[in-house]
Amino acid sequence: MDNLEKEALNKFISIDILNSSSLFAVKIVDLETFEVTYANQSMKSIMADEKAKNCWEAVYAQDSPCMWCKVHELLAQRNETSTDTCHEPSIIYEHFNEVANKWYQIQEKILSIEEDKKLLISFSLDISMQKETQSQLINSHVQLSFQTKALKEAKEKLKEQASHDYLTNLYNRRYFQYISQDLINLAKREASDLSVIMLDIDNFKKVNDTYGHSNGDQVLIHLASILTEHIRESDIVARIGGEEFAILLLHTDKAGAAEIAEKLRVSVEEQPLILDDKTCIPLTISLGISSVDVNNDLNIDTCLNQSDTALYEAKNSGRNKLIIYKPLTQ
């Protein structure tokens, strides 16, 4: 930069200020030749070759103009705005300098110091520490998000395990007791019917002894799928222990429960379990039916006991049948 250019440039900014700046790396580029006509010490310390001819060679060791160069964008902005040099457009962007191996925030502006003389003045601020901190925060946030998601999934899994039978994936006895209380309260408010079917597999011990416990588990899974397929969406089916299952039927009296129970009995009898080796395990079930006394029952226990009594009557009287509970006074 010759003395005339320095004198013209000093009208806009003091060269002494640029020289003494250690916070900003400053360069001035002649837009006619794209030579770096000035660089302060901070800029020289990060340049690839301060003696190179063109700015892209000197600063970034590029063989051709930088793809991220903003000169054309600045010139376009300049043509669209006032020619008042006090309001020259500027641009701010971030760039990773591979030569210095650092991130910089760069502010650039075009200055006209003579009638046809245009210079690009560029201020680069090292923001590597901020970028590293930002990256760490992002990584921490991502890790926290993954941990939160994993924790949520674990909680949901534990919640499901707490309410579901591990083998059949039906509800377990604990959940059946819990949800039945809500449904009893609902039935009381609506003065509606609520019934229970208790059922278990006939001669299940013989199934285990004949085909093995692993195939006995497959029998339980098979039965669970049949029950799930044939009950209504509003009904609650649960495995409450061993080969014993319970179904809670909303808005259903004993007669309606008996119809559903008979359909289940027939479906189970008509769908034996076929194993991979073509072995066929025939199945039958016995069922007991009772209804909740919505005016007097405080919980499901009385109805469950009545259904259980009817179930054992069905088993003791020949199996593969259903019995509707009748109080002894009747």
Residues noted as catalytic: 243
CB 8 within 8 A of CB 107: no
**Ramachandran assignment for 169, one of left (phi > 0), alpha (psi -120 to 50 degrees), beta (any other):** left
Closest among 306, 312, 282 to 200, alpha carbons compared? 312
Look up residue 250 and give its DSSP letter.
Answer: E
Dist. CA 30–CA 110, nearest whole Å: 10
| C-beta neighbour count of 86 within 10 angstroms | 6
235 contacts 247 by C-beta, under 8 angstroms: yes
The pair of structure tokens assigned to 232 is: 């209504």
SS3 content of the chain, % helix, strand, coil (to 5): 45, 25, 30
Question: Quick one: angle between helices 213-230 and 254-270, nearest 10?
Answer: 130
With beta carbons less than 8 A apart as the criterion, state whether 82 and 94 touch.
Answer: no
